[in-house]
Amino acid sequence: MEQFDLYIDGAFHPGAARFDSRDPATDAPWASIAEARAAEVDLAVRAARRAFETGAWPAMTASARGKLLLRLADLVQEAAPELARIETRDTGKIIRETSAQIAYVAEYYRYYAGLADKIEGAHLPIDKPDMEVWLRREPIGVVAAIVPWNSQLFLSAVKLGPALAAGCTVVLKASEDGPAPLLAFAKLIERAGFPPGVVNVITGFGPECGAVLTAHPGIDHIAFTGGPETARHVVRGSAENLASTSLELGGKSPFIVFEDADLDSAVNAQIAGIFAATGQSCVAGSRLVVHEPIRERMLATLAERAARIAIGAPCEMETEIGPLCTRHQRDRLHAIVAASVAAGAKLICGGVVPEGPGNYYPPTVLDCTDVPDAPCVKEEMFGPVLAVTAFRDEADAIRIANDTAYGLASGVFTRDLTRAHRMIRAIRAGIVWVNTYRAVSPIAPFGGHGLSGHGREGGLAAALDYTTVKTVWLRT
- 248 has catalytic annotation: yes
Q: Is 178 in the site for ligand NAD (CB under 6 A)?
A: no
**Pairing assessment for the beta strands 199-203 and 169-174 based on DSSP bridges:** parallel
Select 49 or 93, whichever has its Cβ closest to ligand NAD.
93
Residues near ligand NAD (CB under 6 A), total? 29
Q: Is 234 in the site for ligand NAD (CB under 6 A)?
A: yes
Q: Which stretch binds ligand NAD (CB under 6 A): 248-256, 262-270, 285-293, 331-339?
A: 248-256
Q: Is 206 in the site for ligand NAD (CB under 6 A)?
A: yes
Select 207 or 354, whichever has its Cβ closest to ligand NAD.
207
Select 216 or 295, whichever has its Cβ closest to ligand NAD.
216
Q: Which stretch binds ligand NAD (CB under 6 A): 2-10, 203-211, 259-267, 391-399?
A: 203-211
Among 21, 101, 225, 246, binds ligand NAD (CB under 6 A): 225
Q: Is 455 in the site for ligand NAD (CB under 6 A)?
A: no
32 burial class (0-12, 13-18, 19+ CB within 10 angstroms)? middle
Query: Using CA atoms, how far apart are residues 89 and 93, in angstroms rounded to an integer?
Result: 8
Q: Which stretch binds ligand NAD (CB under 6 A): 101-109, 128-136, 245-253, 410-418?
A: 245-253
Q: Is 249 in the site for ligand NAD (CB under 6 A)?
A: yes
* CB 221, CB 143: distance < 8 Å: yes
Q: How far apart are CB 155 and ligand NAD at their closest, in Å?
A: 6
Q: Is 207 in the site for ligand NAD (CB under 6 A)?
A: yes
Q: Is 211 in the site for ligand NAD (CB under 6 A)?
A: yes
**Residues 90-129, mask of contacts with ligand NAD (x by CB under 6 A):** ----------------------------------------
Query: Using CA atoms, how far apart are residues 186 and 168, in angstroms rounded to an integer?
Result: 17
Catalytic residue among 97, 248, 320, 457: 248
Among 73, 105, 145, 146, binds ligand NAD (CB under 6 A): 146
Among 226, 314, 358, 375, binds ligand NAD (CB under 6 A): 226
The radius of gyration computed from the CA coordinates of the chain, to the nearest angstrom, equals: 23
- Residues of this chain, 375-394, that bind ligand NAD according to CB under 6 A: 380, 382
Among 161, 250, 279, 383, binds ligand NAD (CB under 6 A): 250
Query: Using CA atoms, how far apart are residues 186 and 171, in angstroms rounded to an integer?
Result: 11
Q: Which stretch binds ligand NAD (CB under 6 A): 30-38, 48-56, 230-238, 431-439?
A: 230-238
* CB 116, CB 63: distance < 8 Å: yes
Q: Is 160 in the site for ligand NAD (CB under 6 A)?
A: no
Among 7, 109, 112, 149, binds ligand NAD (CB under 6 A): 149
Query: Using CA atoms, how far apart are residues 475 and 460, in angstroms rounded to an integer?
Result: 32
Select 154 or 258, whichever has its Cβ closest to ligand NAD.
154
Q: Which amino acid is at 59?
A: A
Q: Is 253 in the site for ligand NAD (CB under 6 A)?
A: no
Select 232 or 392, whichever has its Cβ closest to ligand NAD.
232
Q: Which stretch binds ligand NAD (CB under 6 A): 106-114, 225-233, 257-265, 459-467?
A: 225-233
Among 169, 214, 245, 414, binds ligand NAD (CB under 6 A): 214
Q: Which residues bind ligand NAD (CB under 6 A)?
A: 146-150, 155, 173, 175-176, 206-207, 210-211, 214, 225-227, 230, 233-234, 237, 248-251, 282, 380, 382, 408
Active site positions, annotated? 248
